[in-house]
Structure 1
Amino acid sequence: MSDRSRQLAIAGVLLAVLCWAGNALVARAFAGEIPPFALAFWRWSTALVIVLPFVVKPLWHHRRDLLHAGWRLPVIAGIGIAGYNTLLYSAAQTTAAINITLVNTCIPLMTFICAGLLLGEWPARRAWWGMGVAVLGLLVLISQGQWSTLASLSFNQGDMIMLLAVTDWALYTVLLRRWSRYLTPIPPLAMLGIFMILGVPLILPLYLYELSTGAHMALIPANFAAIGYTAIFASLVAYLGWNHAVKVLGAAKASMANYLMPVFTAILGWLLLGEGLQVFHWVGGAMIFCGLILATRPGRA
């Protein structure tokens, strides 16, 4: 792996997590305005409309590679497109933001375990130490520097849904790596396009069921803007960066970047909502960055 390729992969995964931090803010801010299945369906439908003109020709050119990948494509599409974000948006309806952040940080550990069991890629001891440092930094952020805050946390149905989402995303990440020899011949944008083509129809029945219950989205500019952000940044930009990082860095190392989610969320809250950054933000963020550097340095597995 060249240094340039590794640097591009790290930049891609950081950009992906930054976009998803914004996605989490949108999910929380519009939880009462846009029903979860509606947000998931229109997010991916809009992204598909944007990307489709650019992927039709590459997909036709690589039709034999698509046929060779076969059943693996709908499996990945179901897990990565129809699964994770639909579960996250559902969880946002019934749980607090801090709980989503807390449960979501189980992704690196779940990915470490899945990568070890399914790929035989057990991380080096240094990576486990790095994950430990990052977890401590995360706890500093969540507790706001007061450990008694952790004892007051409570969990509900939304948190159980987030646990399913975490498992879903870990599987998506690991399967991208496991089946990379089938996916590598397909250009990144075309691969994301076929995932969306296969994934959107899987969300449609859930969206139709939601409509039948009387849950509707108001046709107002703010809702359209939320869908536009999730379609362009949380879908196209983030998934392209993430998929590339998994291919170059591996599933376990790429997943460590999820610890930056609360850091980026705090920064976005400061920039967009005027929420001040406290000492615990800086301390926790610094510990997370140190843990990531320790865990992702090149070395023997």
Structure 2
Amino acid sequence: MSVTPAAADADTRRPWWSSPYLMLVMPPLFWAGNAIAGRLVAGEISPLALSSVRWALAILLLLPLTAAGVRRQWPVIRRRWKALAALGILSAGLYNLLLYMALQTTTAINVTLVNSAMPMTIVLVSWIWLRDRPSGGAMAGIALSMVGVAVVVSRGELAVLLGLELHQGDALMLLAVLVWALYSVMLRAHPPGLTPGVFLTVQMSAGLLFLLPFYGVEIALGGGAVPLTWEMALVLAYVATGPAIGAFYFWNRGVAEAGANTAGLYINLLPVFTAVLAVVFLDEVFRWYHAAGLALIFSGIALATLRRPRAR
């Protein structure tokens, strides 16, 4: 029986809320909240303690929902444990630890500026590793999005960009950018072969197992304490749910469907979302350059993801 083009198109239609492009908007929104939360407790808890406790709580929340799936898919996990461990160590282990360490010694504006190198870094890693050569539209979209980021972090003034000073944390953030680019491209090159919830559980577990020995050493040396305050409890509850479970779930799905290069563009939404959340939680003011940066970033994303009509 033959299938008409109209029927085939109808079969491939999907609900708007399951679009990979909508999914990719969610991670930078959650990560913006993560940056706000990290700044709130930067002087009260060490990066190792925050990372370790965060993933431990996230696993405790997720495991009751995914334990049965982990048992069913254990043969796949055992067969592919090396690739799965590498993905977990790069993402849950190293990236977030480096981000929290960077926030200890540099400003949020510097972290945002360094993070804007993420899309280009993902494109370069993808080009070298997968021979995935970007199109001219993709490169133009990346450039336009980076201009939008520069508008936001400079508050629309060139003098602010020229006056930025580099700190030790900037180097740590550059390393974090490279780590996340490697993770994103590896996710595309070596799909986990697991359902999203099971992969997320394995990914977090691998990252936590990587962090725990270092955290144990920190505790043995007299550090690593977690203050028992309501503010800390709220911060830990948030970073263990939104940035941990939600952001990683949507990022993994988005990369699998849209590709690492396209996904990288959405990270440029991070400074805009951070500014919006700062208005809500830190009583900052949303200004014209935030709106201008948002428009440029979305224009860059649209330019990079534009597709020509397919020939029938």
Instruction: Compute the TM-score of the two structures, normalised by the length of structure 2.
Output: 0.91
Partners of 2:93 and 2:206 within 8 A in 1: no
Which residue is equivalent to 2:219? 211
Q: How far apart, in 2, do the equivalents of 1:30 and 1:56 lie?
A: 32
Which residue is equivalent to 2:233? 224
Amino acid at match of 2:180: W
Q: How far apart, in 1, do the equivalents of 2:183 and 2:67 lie?
A: 24
Which residue is equivalent to 2:201? 193
Partners of 1:44 and 1:235 within 8 A in 2: yes
Q: How far apart, in 2, do the equivalents of 1:299 and 1:231 lie?
A: 40
Answering whether residue 27 of structure 2 is matched by residue 4 of structure 1, we say no
Q: Shift of residue 143 of structure 1? A: 1.1
Answering whether residue 150 of structure 2 is matched by residue 139 of structure 1, we say yes
Which residue is equivalent to 1:19? 30
Q: How far apart, in 2, do the equivalents of 1:27 and 1:40 lie?
A: 10
Which residue is equivalent to 1:157? 168
Q: How far apart, in 2, do the equivalents of 1:205 and 1:34 lie?
A: 18
Partners of 1:87 and 1:162 within 8 A in 2: yes
Instruction: Compute the TM-score of the two structures, normalised by the length of structure 1.
Output: 0.94
Inter-CA distance 248–91: structure 2 relative to 1 (3 Å threshold): same
Return the match for 1:116 from 103, 123, 127.
Answer: 127
Q: How far apart, in 1, do the equivalents of 2:267 and 2:280 lie?
A: 20
Which residue is equivalent to 2:73? 62
Size of the alignment, in residue pairs?
297
Partners of 1:5 and 1:248 within 8 A in 2: no
Which residue is equivalent to 2:210? 202
**Runs of 5+ unmatched residues, structure 2:** 1-8
Which residue is equivalent to 1:277? 286
**Runs of 5+ unmatched residues, structure 1:** none
Q: Shift of residue 166 of structure 1? A: 0.5
Q: For structure 1, which segment, 1-10 or 248-257, has the greater mean C-alpha deviation from structure 2 after superposition?
A: 1-10
Q: How far apart, in 1, do the equivalents of 2:220 and 2:82 lie?
A: 31
RMSD (CA atoms): 1.6
Q: Shift of residue 86 of structure 1? A: 0.5
Inter-CA distance 299–30: structure 2 relative to 1 (3 Å threshold): farther
Q: Shift of residue 89 of structure 1? A: 0.5
Q: Shift of residue 3 of structure 1? A: 5.6
Amino acid at match of 1:52: L
Amino acid at match of 2:177: V
Q: For structure 1, which segment, 270-279 or 141-150, has the greater mean C-alpha deviation from structure 2 after superposition?
A: 270-279
Q: For structure 1, which segment, 88-97 or 118-127, has the greater mean C-alpha deviation from structure 2 after superposition?
A: 118-127
Q: Shift of residue 156 of structure 1? A: 1.5
Return the match for 2:247 from 216, 238, 248.
Answer: 238
Q: How far apart, in 1, do the equivalents of 2:303 and 2:36 lie?
A: 29
Inter-CA distance 74–299: structure 2 relative to 1 (3 Å threshold): farther
Q: How far apart, in 1, do the equivalents of 2:262 and 2:307 lie?
A: 10
Amino acid at match of 1:100: V
Q: How far apart, in 2, do the equivalents of 1:8 and 1:206 lie?
A: 39
* Identical-residue share of aligned pairs (%): 34
